[in-house]
Amino acid sequence: MRFVRYFVLLGALLALAATPASGGITPGGIDTDRPLDPIQPDHLANQCFVLWFGIESPSEIGRLQSLGFNVTQTTNPAAITAANLANYDVLVVAYTGPGVLGSAKPLIESFVNSGKGLLIHQPNAPGTLDYAPTGLGAAILSAAWCNFPGSATSTIVDGSHPITLGLTDADLSGALDQVTSLGAGYHLLAKSLVCGDPSLAVGTLGGGRVVFEDNNASPISIVPGSDRYWGNLFSWVCSGGQTPTRDQTWGRVKVLYR
């Protein structure tokens, strides 16, 4: 009887595994049928400290941390103050349309102008971004790309920039919003292959750097982008001003035990 029960249980488990999960592709570019594997850190924390404002798609922040970036998340607009921003090298504004951080625009502009970095990460909402620095804004027509749920791939327009240098289209993340216009201060690096609208652009303000993209770094994104792409992007936006040096304690310990 034990063997009979074993095979009955095994059959039930196999049947469950074969049952397709409900889900599909979301306008934000997530494939809800794709399993989300745990992310394991493979780098020591580096010198770039990032404040992520807004929600995240599954494991985006974990992925960036595994690449060595120090990321702190908040969804509270009250956290965007001059005193708090002074603790960070980069501000990421993620999945945030107009009407949320508009009053913080002078603070954000001053932060970038002082030599820091700003990443506008997939606004995912229609309208003109009221928090972006002057000349580095964007207007979003729709939170879904033009041929949703079809292809959302990007293609490189300028491969000589440090973010795209040495990459191919296969490294890029998806073009997941419909972007109608970018500020005059941007330089276009990549665009939607099918729709033709911008998917990656860069600009500068004072000593700081700004990146706009409508990508999705989640491991279960339909076009998640390569680690090299995200590493290049964050390394560039982190390099606008002087960054803190790495704590040398671990290095000293290793020397003592060689």
User: Does 257 map to a domain?
Assistant: no
Q: Is residue 192 a part of any domain in this protein?
A: yes
Instruction: Write out pLDDT tens, residues 111-164.
Output: 999 999 999 999 999 999 999 999 999 999 999 999 999 999 999 999 999 999
The total of structural domains in the chain comes to: 1
Segments forming the whole domain that contains residue 218: 49-237
Q: What is the pLDDT of residue 37?
A: 46
- Spatial separation of the C-alpha atoms in residues 37 and 25, rounded to whole Å: 18
Which tens digit of pLDDT belongs to each residue from 185-208?
A: 999 999 999 999 999 999 999 999
User: Which residue carries 């980069």 as its tokens?
Assistant: 90
Q: What is the pTM of this model?
A: 0.79
Residue 155: inside a domain, yes or no? Answer: yes
Contact between 111 and 208 under an 8 Å Cβ cutoff? The reply is yes
Q: Is residue 88 part of a domain?
A: yes
CATH number, domain of 215, equals 3.40.50.880
> Cβ(171)–Cβ(225) under 8 Å?
yes
